[in-house]
Amino acid sequence: MLHLKFALNLESLADHLMATVKAAWKNPFVAPIIVFPDPKMEQWFRLRWVQKQGTLANFNSMMIDRFLMEILVGDDITKQKLNSDVLQSVILAYLYETDENAQPNYKSLGDEVVRYLEVDGKLDENHIFDLSLRMASMFLEYETSRPAGFVLTRGGKCDENGKALGILDCWKQGDLKDFFDGSPREEWQRKLYSKIFHQDGKKPSLLTRAFDAMNARKNAGMEGPVNVNYLTIPFLYKTCEKFHCESFTDGDNVLPVFIFGLSGMGQFYRVILQKFAEEHDIYAFIQNPCMDFWEDVAAPGKYHHWEKSGNRWTSGGNDLPEDLKKRLHVSVSDASPDELENSAQVEEGVDSENENALLCNWGRSGRDNIKLWCQAANYDFEFEDGLGTSGENCADENSAGLLKQVQSMIAQRKNSSQDLLEYFEADAGKSRGGFAEDATFSLTSAPTREREIQVLHSRICKLLSERDADGKPVNRISDIMVFSPDLDSYRTAIYQAFDQTSKDGLHIPFSIVDSPARASLTANALAVLCGLLDPEIQTINRPAFFSLMRNPVVQHTRGITDEDVEAWEGWIENIHMYRDRNEKQGDWKNGLRRLLLSKFTDEDFPNGSMQCEELRPYSDIASSNNKSLCKFADTIDELDQWIDFAKTHKAVTPELMDEVIDKLSNWISMPFAPDGFAGETIVYKQISTGFEILKHQFDAGRKEISWPCIIQTLNCAAESTEYSCGNLFVNGVTFAKFIPNRIIPVKHVFFIGASSGAFPGNNPKSTLDLRNNVVAWPGDDTPVAKKRYAFLCQLMSTSSSFHLSYVNKNIAKDEDLYASSIISDIRNFLKNAIKKSAKEKYGDGAETWIEENKNAIKNIWPETETPLDEKRPYSELFTPKEWRNRATYDGMVNPADNAEEARKRTRFHWQWEDLGDKNTIKNPERVSFREIQKFLEDPFQFRITRMLDTNEREDDVDPESEYFEPVDFNNLGNSVLVNAMVTAAVTGNKDDKDKLVHDLKLNGELPDNKYGNKLLDSCEHKCNRVIGQMESTEGDAPAKASDSWSNKEKLELVILQNINGQDIRWVLSGTLPWCNADRNHLVSITSTKPKSPTKTPNFKQSKYLNTYVAALALIAQKKSDAEETIKISIYSSDLEAVKPAEASVSMSSSEAVELLKEIYSTAFVEQYSKAAPADLLGNEYSNFGDYAKDLSDVWKFFGKRNMFDKRKDVGFTPLETFPSEWNEAREHQQSLIKLNVVC
């Protein structure tokens, strides 16, 4: 028998359930089954039991699907539930196979199917996979959602008792007829269903033949074979001779089954439960948010005043007559919309203005559920009425506030309340809007998720800080729950706001009990491996290689370490391994050979099959690690084998399937999974199951399976599903995803992410689903309807306060975002309730009252807008970050009176101060020309480079993501090659140039074929332009007298210097550019275009600095007391350049030494770091804005530029003091650059 119990909230239900279970649970070793809709509700119930009853052991709980399989199948291993994956494989096999006319079977299904599956006359593998997957799911849903006899109907498809026929009555063997709308779409779906499920003449159905082949395959060579039969739920029910109750039977006594909080289930599930209830006891404890009869609440213009009498609805003091119950049961499955609307009404009632709008808008899913439960129990039920008992339950009569008022009106199916009106009139903050100051039911908006979570954090802190008269906490962490329909988008903000380890402030522990919806590491590795098989790729490439090698699953499977990958990155970048273009040009094979050759020889090795005639062995410190090199070689070799396997075998036969499994297992099997990788092991098992699913296609008759089909099947199997992790209220404030069937009774609920896009979402409708073309059946819940009803139930199960929040701005696009429709539903409900209550109280004077309060009514339940800046009072802030943000805002609004105080408010000040002792960076004993040059170019960039120990490569150039080999040199490579050509042209010795070109080819740095030839020709032209300028210049030049000039001469200068009372010795070293025999003329070459190239060419000051440092070193080395002058000439290879730019450096040797000492002290001891680039030193600025604009232009090649705020971090204050600060910095840097430029 079905025993039905309703209550307004789950706490009351749980208490009654505990009492009933205890009464039935006599044997501690045999526990009755309790069916829960969600694991988190089960956790909550366990906690409730322990709080109320003490210990809990041998608890027997199940979800609804497992329970049904338990009673239908029991321990029978020969019967299994048919799932959509197995069914899809059989459908795919049928669609791919051909008929007696050698035509693919899919063509027999009609033009609509052919048009979808074929693209440009060819079968699209993605489309056929998608169609088979969707049809497999829908066939199973059709059977479980359209059972025979579930509803009554007037005429049409019904039996002699007026009960509607089910789909199996119409789509049955030998007598196929329309069940839905009789459209061509139903015709081809019915035909496909018949080809899969029905007998083919005298042969068994394709599904049966596939399972017979599967059993033969699995039982081969086994003793005691087991033949497994996969059946859908209706057929499992049909073949079930009796229900299996062994797991909850105590002797001869079958214990009752308890169902708790289940708000909805499939139609056929109800059929099974009702049949089970005819033989055994089922106790269903269901939340019902309304104490009145409200199953007709959606019908406009109708209202029933039925009352409860005992356990039944009554009308006029009499029980509902049987014919009325029958009419309530009617669902016109084939009626028109008008007929359906009329049939939903039983009798005339009051106008719909008297209806509770929240029950109307949010209750559809619940109405159907409650109606179906009532019908199953013949409207015999118990209802725990009243608005609360212990103060824990929702709508506690002793509590005050808007939440209680709304709950009370919903519970009593009212749309007006004098208590609500009285509370509205007493609202002190009514001027801002009705209920603006209410603390029990609030709405908050914020411009970003970070600010939304910061406000949430502060509110929780405030709740936990409250104390009663005895000084005891009013609220505990277990009293608070945070829900979000879009939890993943808030994870980062949650960790930022709550995961603060500072000793200052209030630290709140928290726990997120739902896994992120993201692809697993195993799935990512599988996607990369499958991507390599793409016919347009089919080669190893850098992005794929490093994506695999940095994947922890691949690393654990193959024993690869991060140190290995770092070494491999250096090899791949230095050897210039990009991709294998053809069999003769393979970067990866060529590079691997070079690494392995280094173990045998240092000489170039013949290699006639490659682009170059020789291979140059490559080795470095890392490649001396034989173990790492062997791993690298094995990795490249197995990837090549994987790609070659797919090239050789265009499709996979049954004999090759095990080889595919082995090859993939070498990358993702992870036989000994470390802690934290349990989820990845599950995904790998799903992939292994995917291979078994593929084998069902062979069982259904396919001879071979294409690679696209294999890849899609495995990727679908590897899709990571969201799962519950952690327990409620265990590790702190609980954050959970808001989903239907998960209602958690709690004192305080925070509902974040209540935006129009996230909640309640939309109802995606599949055009293939035939149920969308006909009138819905009771229990056909839409996603939106289920979410709205879940929100209603959660609202009714919250006892003290309910707070909603959402993001109201898209800052990136500068556009407004909107709140969820449930918020407008609440506002409209409150407006109408206030107006109707006023009419009831004031009668004819209601209109005057409404006019007087129109602003408060118009702005009823206003939202609290959170600004982007932290403007809240310090008393509402609880974390150091919030205090800092408020202090920053105060500093912005009230600027400091002096520059020093302003500097202390900047991030620049705190960043440098946090570094501690400046001497932690040791003064260098050797300094290069280039280091001095970089300091003079920009002290700020130089300081950042040393502090962060970065190289000079642009941050956004990631060698791991480079797919194609370069077709040109970078500026540095171009300059090196042009200089080598100029040297060869000047000296007449081409050996160095030829060796450089040869080395570039061997090392893979020179682009291939025509690109390389074009690059060499371009460099030759640049060289000729420079030589031409040298020969035509009036003064001395290397091209005129090569014997009296030297190039790349090394220079070292030892300098003794007293620093902080301590004598130190440091060495300045570098390579001189072209230098004449008298050592008073330096010549360098650049590709930069000069200013005034035909008159007096000159460059920006930074272009001279490298040669300037060399000139200082030359003068200092001469040890002369007389003034020495070094002439500087810079030749440009630009097309417009006709003569060199000239400059000079004049000073004595002692002055040069003292200047070098000052530069060293400033750069390395004082660590001067203002952003004063050499190219800006000639500019005067009257305001900070002009400076910042020019600085952005100078910094365009500074890789770390985006890390810094020019207004705070560059050493200047953007106030009226900036011009004087800039002039001071200019003079400081100009005193270090004593260069005379001819312009």
The pLDDT tens digits for 395-446 are 444 347 899 999 999 998 889 999 999 999 887 666 677 788 889 999 999 9
Cβ count near 304 (within 10 Å): 21
How does strand 312-315 pair with strand 307-309? antiparallel
Tell me how far apart the alpha carbons of residues 1135 and 1133 are, in angstroms, rounded to a whole number: 6
End-of-domain residue from the set 206, 239, 272 = 239
In this predicted structure, what is the pLDDT of residue 157?
67
| Rg (the chain; Cα; Å) | 40
The amino acid that residue 1121 corresponds to is: D
Question: Cis ω on the peptide bond leading into residue 760 (within 30° of 0)?
Answer: yes
Q: For the sheet containing 1236-1237, what is the strand order?
A: 1045-1046, 1074-1076, 1081-1086, 1124-1132, 1141-1147, 1236-1237
In this predicted structure, what is the pLDDT of residue 264?
78
In this predicted structure, what is the pLDDT of residue 849?
92
Class of residue 499 by CB neighbours under 10 A (exposed 0-12, middle 13-18, buried 19+): exposed
Same domain for 98 and 64: no
The per-type count for the chain, helices as H runs and strands as E runs, is 44, 39
Q: At 983, which CATH number?
A: 1.10.10
Tell me how far apart the alpha carbons of residues 892 and 597 are, in angstroms, rounded to a whole number: 64
In this predicted structure, what is the pLDDT of residue 952?
45
Q: Which two tokens stand for residue 369?
A: 């559920």
Same domain for 1073 and 944: yes
Beta bridge partners of 819: 755
3-class state of residue 999 by DSSP: helix
Whether 1147 is covered by a domain: the verdict is yes
Same domain for 1205 and 1141: yes
In this predicted structure, what is the pLDDT of residue 626?
83
Same domain for 1233 and 1113: yes
**For the chain, which ranges sit under pLDDT 70?**
152-157, 159-162, 296-353, 385-399, 428-431, 500-506, 517-518, 579-586, 602-605, 607-614, 621-623, 720-725, 892-921, 948-973, 999, 1001-1011
Whether 439 is covered by a domain: the verdict is yes
Tell me how far apart the alpha carbons of residues 530 and 714 are, in angstroms, rounded to a whole number: 9
**8-state DSSP, 604:** -
φ/ψ of residue 1169, rounded to 5: -145, 25
Same domain for 1107 and 1024: no
Range(s) of the domain holding residue 997: 965-1032
Tell me how far apart the alpha carbons of residues 73 and 240 are, in angstroms, rounded to a whole number: 7
What lies within 8 Å, CB to CB, of 1055 at 6+ separation is: 1065, 1066, 1067, 1068, 1116, 1153, 1156, 1157, 1160
What lies within 8 Å, CB to CB, of 1076 at 6+ separation is: 1036, 1044, 1045
Whether 774 is covered by a domain: the verdict is no
From residue 520, give the alpha-carbon distance in Å to each of 488, 517, 675, 682: 15, 9, 15, 10
Q: Provide the domain count of the chain.
A: 7
Whether 755 is covered by a domain: the verdict is yes
Same domain for 1148 and 1017: no
Same domain for 661 and 542: yes
Tell me how far apart the alpha carbons of residues 275 and 255 are, in angstroms, rounded to a whole number: 16
**8-state DSSP, 347:** S
Tell me how far apart the alpha carbons of residues 739 and 724 are, in angstroms, rounded to a whole number: 12
Beta bridge partners of 308: 313
Tell me how far apart the alpha carbons of residues 1030 and 1041 are, in angstroms, rounded to a whole number: 10
Beta bridge partners of 1125: 1146
In this predicted structure, what is the pLDDT of residue 187?
94
In this predicted structure, what is the pLDDT of residue 366?
87
In this predicted structure, what is the pLDDT of residue 731?
80
End-of-domain residue from the set 213, 239, 265 = 239
In this predicted structure, what is the pLDDT of residue 311?
56
End-of-domain residue from the set 174, 207, 239 = 239
Tell me how far apart the alpha carbons of residues 1028 and 749 are, in angstroms, rounded to a whole number: 81
Same domain for 108 and 54: no
Same domain for 474 and 462: yes
Tell me how far apart the alpha carbons of residues 546 and 313 are, in angstroms, rounded to a whole number: 69
Tell me how far apart the alpha carbons of residues 851 and 351 are, in angstroms, rounded to a whole number: 25
Whether 68 and 276 have beta carbons less than 8 Å apart is answered as no
**Residue 596: enclosing H or E segment and its boundaries?**
helix 587-597
Beta bridge partners of 152: 163, 330
In this predicted structure, what is the pLDDT of residue 1199?
76
The amino acid that residue 87 corresponds to is: L
Q: Is the pTM of this model over 0.95?
A: no
* Per-residue exposure over 436-466, b if at least 16 CB sit within 10 Å of its own CB, e if not: bebebbbbbbbbbbbbbbbbbbbbbbebbee
Provide the residue count of the chain.
1239
From residue 435, give the alpha-carbon distance in Å to each of 806, 841, 859, 862: 19, 19, 9, 8
Whether 227 is covered by a domain: the verdict is yes
Whether 508 is covered by a domain: the verdict is yes
Tell me how far apart the alpha carbons of residues 273 and 33 are, in angstroms, rounded to a whole number: 14
Could you please report the per-residue DSSP string of 907-969?
HHHHHHHTT--GGGSPPPSEEEHHHHHHHHH-HHHHHHHHHHT--SS-TT--GGG--SPPSS-
CA atoms within 13 A on the CB side of 277: 19
Same domain for 1081 and 945: yes
Q: At 461, which CATH number?
A: 3.40.50.300
Q: At 675, which CATH number?
A: 1.10.486.10
Same domain for 1014 and 887: no
Whether 1114 is covered by a domain: the verdict is yes
Tell me how far apart the alpha carbons of residues 268 and 81 are, in angstroms, rounded to a whole number: 14
Whether 948 is covered by a domain: the verdict is yes
Angle between helices 125-145 and 267-279 (to 10 degrees): 30
Whether 749 and 483 have beta carbons less than 8 Å apart is answered as yes
From residue 857, give the alpha-carbon distance in Å to each of 472, 860, 1212, 1236: 39, 5, 53, 78
Same domain for 512 and 437: yes
